[in-house]
Structure 1
Amino acid sequence: MTKKMLALTLGLSGTALAAALVLPAVAQESLLPEGFGKSADTPAPRPAPTPSPSPSSTPAPSSTAVPKGGSAGATALAPSTVATLDSGDTDTGDEASDGEEGTSGQLKYDLPPGARRLLTRVGPLTPETGGMAPDAFGVRGQYAAAIMRSMRGQVASRWGQILLRRALASAIDTPDTISGADLAADRAGLLLRLGESTTARMIVQSVDYDRATPRLVATAQQTYLANADPSGLCPYVPAGLAHGDEQSWRLAAAMCAGMSGEAGPAGWAIGRVRSSGKISNFDILLAERVLGATGAGRRSTTIEWDKVGRLTSWRFGLATATGIDIPAPLRATEAGSIRSWTVLAPMTPMGDRIAAAPYAASRGVLSSEAYVSLLSAASSEEEPPEALAAQTDLLRSAFSGANAADRYTAMAEYWSAGTGATARYAALVATARAAAALPTGADVGADPWQLLGSMLTAGYDNRAVQWVSKLSVGGHGWGIMAVGSPRPLTGVGAGSIGSFASDDDSAETLRSKFLLAGLAGLGRIDAGQASSAASDLGVDLGKQTRWTRAISEAAQRREPGMVALLAAAGMQGEWDKIPPYHLYHIVRALHDVGLDAEARMIAAEALVRV
């Protein structure tokens, strides 16, 4: 059976568009692995390189079509959430490989030597295309990889994830202490857990398959499953059989044989796996369904989900690739990463994509533009659900109402229609461009903090600052702009922070503590005023831990990629679990390495979401 037929039946990588279970926040005193900062490969501090140019005051909204970051890898995937098969996770071989060529065996490679990609610099994004400088992560490869593998949970900040995706997808130099393929595996693994399946694939594909180490081979399997692209597994089958989970790679070998029109070897491989008894029959049936889609299957395959207790990457990938609907009960318990993979997989039923889209938008997987485009596409289908039709009617009015008053009324109704914090914040993401287009003469009430927060979800800070003159000092909207504005506001001090705190309805005045942390980190309040406000609020921004020292030292070394990684490590979980001193150190470090725009957006986001 030809590859052309396969592409038509499975919707594989050529048609793809633009992770693990969301775990409770890691204890904030132990975000980093044991021995963090004391690894044997840590060299003496090097002279600080010239920092890269600062971003413009208005960060460009992220795009799912050309992601600005990446992540995914099997080595760091939680066994309880994104297992390959029921028999357990693939053995990923945690030991780093020292060789450039990896251990994939004698694979045939058709490219001439001059066209092959080096492992000394891996990644798709250059500074000219939105990436970071090649030395953005410094020279301690094992150090960076250990942090990536230690991160299991979600990042609280949408802007923090956008920044981390950009850093991980950058073409960075490989330190001497780690194999370029292994570091790529850890980058892709983290991206997968963040739900960034398409960017993870970009990282995996940046390494020639015959140079893949066992760790990258295992990560590649998870990556192509996350993208619902079983054909992507085929180049890695020999190495997977030699160094990975033999039974899952035998199933992959069977599918690849079927894609090549070799029904005999495919059936033989399936039979061997079934007779081993090591893999659930349900997962074998999914592989047979792939064979049936290629025409190599010898019998029809019926998929029954009745006895399936959880959704793994194998089940998601093969079911999605072959057009099998995943039952709602399994969808209800799926990992956050799989929700994001669902949104990014264009062959997934539109209803499932729409259901998962608010989560993906609130996490930064979808840009504002991509989210609106997805809603628009869903509403244009024949007989869309009534709830979706009402939602898109409001959104349409927010963008194109007869006058400013009608547009703002539609926005306000849209913001309040969602159930839960995730849906409400996703609504702000969806209306970002509509909010930015609203004239400042419109009647938006005394404190339009949601309007300003909506603009800043997509980085429209220059537009938002035009509303400052209409804000009352000490109001919610004023606090958002005090940290989110491209230039400092006048009159910011302990008194105005106290006024803000007097109307703060957040638990334990967390919003006011975040305001102080953001202002202090950006250097927009002097030390005396900051100390006075901290005393009034009962917060210690100067608290020191291994993590605070690590991010401060990375900033001193002028390593924006490492700062972005450590910032994300310090924001695992949800905003109400992030201590204010973490936000202070994150904002300060980002500001110090020239990522001022991102620092401001993260600080403003904190005030919007608590």
Structure 2
Amino acid sequence: MKKSIPSLTLGLSGAAIAAVLVLPALAQESLLPEGFGNPAETPAPRPSPTPSPTATPAPTATPKAGSPPPPPVTATLGSSAASDTGDTEEGEEGEEVAPGTLKYDLPPGARRLLTRIGPLTPETGGLGPDAFGVRGQYAAAIMRGTRGELASRWGQILLRRSLVSAIDTPDTINGADLAAERAALLLRMGESIAARWIVQSVDYDRASPRLVSVAQQTFLANADPAGMCAYVPAGLAHGDEQAWRLAAAICAGLSGEAGPAGWAIGRVRSSGKISNFDILLAERVLGATGAGRRSTTIEWDKVDRLTSWRFGMATATAVPIPEPLRASEPAYMRGWTVLAPMTDMTQRIAAAPDAAARGVLSSEAYVSLLSAAAGQEEPTEALTAQTDALRNAFGAASGIERYTAMQGLWGADANTPGRYAAMIATARAAAALPVSTEVGDDPWQLVGSMFAGGYDRNAIDWVPTISVGSRTWGLLAVGSPRPLNGTNASAIGNFAGGDDSAGSLRSKFLLAGLAGLGRIDAGAAASAASDLDVDLGKQTRWSRAIMAAAERREPGMVALLAAAGMQGDWSKVPPYHLYYIVRSLREVGLGSEARMIAAEALVRV
């Protein structure tokens, strides 16, 4: 058999694999901005995804700012208390510098301002600098109130793109504080690498206390203890004293200062405020630097939960994390696991379906991760069977053989995120399947797989083959780049007749998507809404806020409010939320994202 796509060719170089596996997807294929990443070549016919149109700014409302937030993720260690920094050494100009921390001077021209923060510009795929408007405290409050576990994969992709854009800091908030809330939300979304981009967009000596706290969580999420070193003095002054003392010890060890490292460890241990297990993890890191005085054995038998400190330190030193702790870890930690290349491959593969379904991994990155795992010595039987099926989905001799392999993958996992992850993995293969292939009367999974990867222009080639009112028709009615003929109340009624979802939620989402996209006239929408007993025009503070954001042309704020309205899973999202989300995104120039979110809703309920 021919070699299949490079992501399934197990002969990739280590550097090439690492590059694919470490970077998260800033956007899926069809919405990937021009010039922002280049997918690998494939032997299969190359589909032609739809580019995302350029976004225009949008609006906001004015709820109260809310109380100070809890830490962005599970607390690292013990209680906080201000303290002196312990032993110090003199800097070049008489400044005191804590052992193991960094001190250097930047010329004024190299220092970054807090007035615009973020790595992505409109030229590289980001939103415009005014995408979040001028209400900084309001935006920060919404970020704090958004849990990060979103129903929509495409909603997460869009929110990540918005949060890492180079946006102007409103006059009402400190730029470092707003950066902290952006990074904290990215961490709760499982986007550890994107969170680091934001943290590192602010010079460390300009970090606010809030950003210092989030920076520690961010570098732990990336399993990068050395990243904390620049923030140690500020952390000791304003943060969790004992956690930062352990960080100071690690940084002293990294600088070859065994004495100060041991002193700091001893002081933390004598305080009794931090569990000995967490101290042992720090000593394990010190041992890896050569500053440790003895080997450290890590035993998890008395540990009942996985905190960010434990995740970061164990991952950084290749200490295996027991499966029972993995089973109870927060959802965002599965994203961290997949994006940390030093993590055991078995655990990365276990976390990958959830990460792909959430939007942390692109279709290409997910398939490449599976390929890399299958190339290791003695892969599991399940992984071997999965990658063999993927090879057939991409490279079998006939279209029917490729489609049969895809069907096997779609039905192999009873877990809902796992089923959707399988559709993500086959997105490019589905887009390359000839329309002449015999796929049955209602190939909604095939079309849903194309939309999962953003191949909307390939999906519309199937329009002539499907029946109006079928599930596939519903997907194409909301997901295609152009409206379909015959979209009316009668067609929606036919769709509802075959709807097996709880409370006809799928039909309600179809109506919400069509109405939000403006693809059904008001009379037909009202008639269908009456038949389905749904009120798409319901007004709440949230609906008024997202519509006001759209009127002011603030796409970043619309994306943020859309995410706030899609927390949890799709069964918890009211149909009127989907209507306002789709409508608002379309009004601020994010119509492609609006279509993909609407199509995803129909696939996942």
TM-score range, shorter chain: 0.7 to 0.9
Residue 597 (structure 2) pairs with residue 605 (structure 1): no
Which residue of 59, 79, 82 corresponds with 2:74?
82
The match for 1:60 among 32, 52, 64 is 32
| Counterpart Cα distance in 2 of 1:381 and 1:57 | 28
Deviations 1:318-364 (A, max 9, x none): 00000100000000100111111000000000000000000000000
Judging changes above 3 Å, is the alpha-carbon distance between structure 1 residues 318 and 353 closer, same or farther for their aligned structure 2 residues? Answer: same
Q: Deviations over 1:528-576 (max 9, x none)?
A: 1000000000000000000000000000000000000000000000000
- Offset at 1:58? 3.8
Spell out structure 1 runs of 4+ moving beyond 6 A: 13-16, 61-68, 104-107
Name the CA shift for 1:82/1:88 in 2 (closer, same or farther; >3 Å): farther
Indicate conservation of the 8 Å contact 1:90/1:218, yes or no. Answer: no
Per the alignment, residue 226 of structure 2 pairs with 231
Question: Is 1:177 aligned with 2:172?
Answer: yes
Given candidates 145, 150, 154, the residue that maps to 1:150 is 145
Q: Which amino acid aligns with 1:472?
A: S
Task: Specify whether residues 56 and 165 from structure 1 end up closer, same or farther in structure 2 by C-alpha distance, changes over 3 A only.
Answer: closer
Shift of 1:370: 0.1
Deviation digits for residues 60-83 of structure 1, max 9, x if unmatched? 399998999xxxxxx85568x611
Q: Give the number of equivalent residue pairs.
A: 542
Query: Residue 510 of structure 2: which of 506, 515, 540 is its match?
Result: 515
Retained in 1: the 8 A contact 2:134–2:170?
yes
Cα distance per residue 1:95-149 (max 9 Å; x no partner): xxxxxxxxx9988432101011111000000000000000000000000000000
**Aligned partners of 2:35 and 2:124 also within 8 Å:** no
Equivalent residue for 1:403, pick from 381, 398, 407: 398
Counterparts in 2 of 1:566 and 1:89: CA distance versus 1, 3 Å = farther
1:288–1:386 distance in 2 versus 1, CA, 3 Å = same
Q: How does 1:469-488 map to 2 (within 5 A)?
A: 469-488=464-483
Go from structure 1 to structure 2 and tell me whether the alpha carbon gap of 1:186 and 1:438 turns closer, same or farther (over 3 Å shift). Answer: same
Give the whole-Å Cα distance in 2 for the aligned partners of 1:58 and 1:389: 29
> Which one-letter code corresponds to 2:554 in the other structure?
E
Counterpart pick for 1:17 among 22, 28, 52 = 22
**1:392-447 C-alpha deviation (Å, 9 max, x unpaired):** 10011000001101000000011000121110000000000000000100001100
Any residues of structure 2 matched to 1:204-353 within 5 Å, and which? 204-353=199-348
Aligned equivalent of 1:30? none
Spell out the pairing of 1:386-465 with structure 2 (5 A cutoff).
386-465=381-460
Q: Secondary structure at the match of 1:417?
A: coil
One-letter amino acid of the counterpart of residue 162, structure 2? A
Question: 2:578 aligned with 1:592, yes or no?
Answer: no
Letter in 1 for 2:31: P
- What is the letter of the counterpart of residue 82 of structure 1? T
Match of 2:491 in 1: 496
Match of 1:525 in 2: 520
From 538, 560, 563, the counterpart of 2:533: 538
Distance 1:227 1:64, change over 3 A: farther
Task: Give the counterpart of 1:117 among 112, 117, 135.
Answer: 112
The answer (yes or no) to whether the contact 2:80–2:241 under 8 Å persists in 1 is no
| Partner AA of 2:32 in structure 1 | A
Q: How does 1:558-597 map to 2 (within 5 A)?
A: 558-597=553-592
- Secondary structure of the corresponding residue to residue 161 of structure 1: helix
Preserved CA contact (<8 Å) 2:21 2:368: no
Unaligned runs of 5+ in 1: 1-12, 19-54, 69-74, 92-103
3-state DSSP of counterpart to 1:224? helix
**Equivalent pair of 1:201/1:223 in contact (CA under 8 Å):** yes
Aligned to 2:55: none
- SS where residue 294 of structure 2 aligns? coil
AA partner of residue 59 (structure 1):
L
Report the AA paired with residue 278 of structure 1: K
Relative to the length of structure 1, the TM-score reads 0.86
Residues 361-389 of structure 1: CA deviation (Å, up to 9, x unaligned): 00000000000000000001111011100
Kindly tell me: are residues 57 and 478 of structure 1, through their superposed partners in 2, closer, same or farther at Cα, counting changes over 3 Å? Answer: farther
**Which whole-Å CA distance do the structure 1 matches of 2:96 and 2:240 have between them?**
16
Instruction: Please tell me whether the aligned partners of residues 61 and 368 of structure 1 are also in contact (alpha carbons under 8 angstroms).
Output: no
Q: CA deviation at 1:308?
A: 0.1
| Percent of aligned positions that are identical | 73
- Partner AA of 1:579 in structure 2: P
Residue 367 (structure 1) aligns with: 362
| Structure 1 residues 491 and 14: CA distance shift in structure 2, 3 A | closer
Work out the CA distance in 2 between the residues paired with 1:89 and 1:519.
51
SS state at 2:343 partner: coil
Helix, strand or coil at the partner of 1:109: coil
Q: CA deviation at 1:59?
A: 1.6
Measured at CA, do residues 77 and 201 of structure 1 come closer, stay the same or move farther in structure 2, by a change above 3 Å?
farther
Q: Which moved more, 1:249-258 or 1:152-161?
A: 152-161
Q: Distance in 2 between matches of 1:405 and 1:455?
A: 17
- C-alpha contact (below 8 Å) 1:137/1:560 kept by paired residues: yes
CA distance in 1, matches of 2:441, 2:81: 57
Q: Classify the secondary structure of the residue corresponding to 1:444.
A: coil
Report the Cα distance in structure 1 between the residues aligned to 2:227 and 2:600, rounded to whole angstroms: 38
Q: Which amino acid aligns with 2:210?
A: R
Tell me if the contact between 1:76 and 1:190 (Cα under 8 Å) persists in the aligned partners: no
Q: Is the contact between residue 16 and residue 227 of structure 1 (CA under 8 Å) also seen in structure 2?
A: no
Gaps in structure 2 of 5+ consecutive residues = 1-17, 40-51, 53-67, 83-94
Counterpart position of 2:12? none
CA distance in 1, matches of 2:467, 2:434: 19
In structure 2, the residue matched to 1:32 is none
Equivalent residue of 2:22, what SS? coil
Change (3 A) 1:105 1:206: farther
1:141-182 CA-to-partner distances (Å, cap 9, x unmatched) read 000000000112411000000000000000000000001100
